[in-house]
Amino acid sequence: MHKLQAASCKLQTVLALKRMLSFRSTYVQRKFSVGSQGLRIFSKVANFHAPPLSCPSTARSLSMVETTCARPLASEAETNATRASQLQQGLVSVAHLEHAMAVAEVAAKRAAHIVLEARPRILATNSVKQKDAGEGPVTEADLAADEVIREHIKDAFPADTIISEESFTGVGNAALSTKGRVWLVDPLDGTKCFINPNSSDFCIMIGLLIDGFPAAGLIVEPTTGRAWKGVNGLEYSRAWHTSSDGSTRQLPSLPDSRTEGVLSFGAGPPVSPKFAELISEFVHAPARAVSKGSAGLKAMLIVDGETEMYTSGCQQISVWDVCAGHAILNAVGGGLCTLALAPINYQRRQLRDGLFFHAPGINDELKMKVRGMYEHLAKRRGQQQQR
DSSP structural state of residue 134: G
Residues 6+ apart with CB under 8 A from 358: 33, 302, 308, 309, 310, 334, 335, 336, 337, 367
Do 243 and 221 form a contact (C-beta atoms < 8 A)?
no
β-sheet bridge partners, residue 248 = 242
In this prediction, residue 34 carries a pLDDT of 35
Beta bridge partners of 357: 310, 336
At a CB cut-off of 8 Å and minimum separation 6, what does 102 contact?
Answer: none
Predicted pLDDT at 134:
74
pLDDT of residue 92: 86
Round to whole Å and give the CA distance between 215 and 330. Answer: 9
Q: pLDDT value at position 381?
A: 86
Beta-sheet strands, E only, within 243-286: 248-250, 263-267
Q: Work out the angle between the directed axes of helices 94-125 and 140-156 (0-180°, nearest 10).
A: 160
Rounded CA separation 321/296 (Å) = 7
Residues 6+ apart with CB under 8 A from 198: none
Q: How far apart are CA 144 and CA 254, in angstroms?
A: 36
What is residue 48's three-state secondary structure? coil
pLDDT of residue 100: 97
Task: Give the C-alpha separation, 344 to 126, whole Å.
Answer: 36
Q: What is the pLDDT of residue 132?
A: 81
Based on C-alpha coordinates, what's the Rg of the chain? Answer: 24
Identify how many contiguous H helices and E strands the chain contains and give both numbers. 10, 16
Q: Which residues of the chain have pLDDT under 70?
A: 1-91, 387
Report the side by side order of strands in the sheet with 287-291.
287-291, 263-267, 309-312, 355-358, 335-337
Per-residue model confidence (pLDDT) at position 287: 97
How far does CA 317 lie from the centroid of its chain?
13
